[in-house]
Amino acid sequence: MTNVKIDTLSFEDALTELETIVRNLETGQTKLDESITAYERGVALKKHCEKRLSDARLKIEKITLDDKGAPQGLEPFDTE
């Protein structure tokens, strides 16, 4: 398990780490305390991935199309 701050991870890196955690937990080969710590990080990674996906979806929804279907009016997305 890595000590990298979750909020600095890209979606892809967070998903890869989450998949690794799930595989490790599924084997049942880790100690209980390590499993609990990994599970907690996994929950945080899942939330991070969900947020990144939600932000991406909202950005896409901000794109408006002209009458010919071409993108126009790309509005900056405010996550706040």
Crossing angle for the helix pair 32-62 and 11-27, to the nearest 10 degrees: 150
> Whole-angstrom Cα distance, residue 15 to residue 49?
7
- Domain ranges across the chain: 6-72
Q: Domain 6-72 - what CATH class?
A: mainly alpha
Query: What are the pLDDT digits (tens) for 16-50?
Result: 999 999 999 999 999 999 999 999 999 999 999 99
How much is the pTM? 0.74
pLDDT the model gives residue 69: 75
Residue 49: closest CA among 23, 18, 72, 22: 18
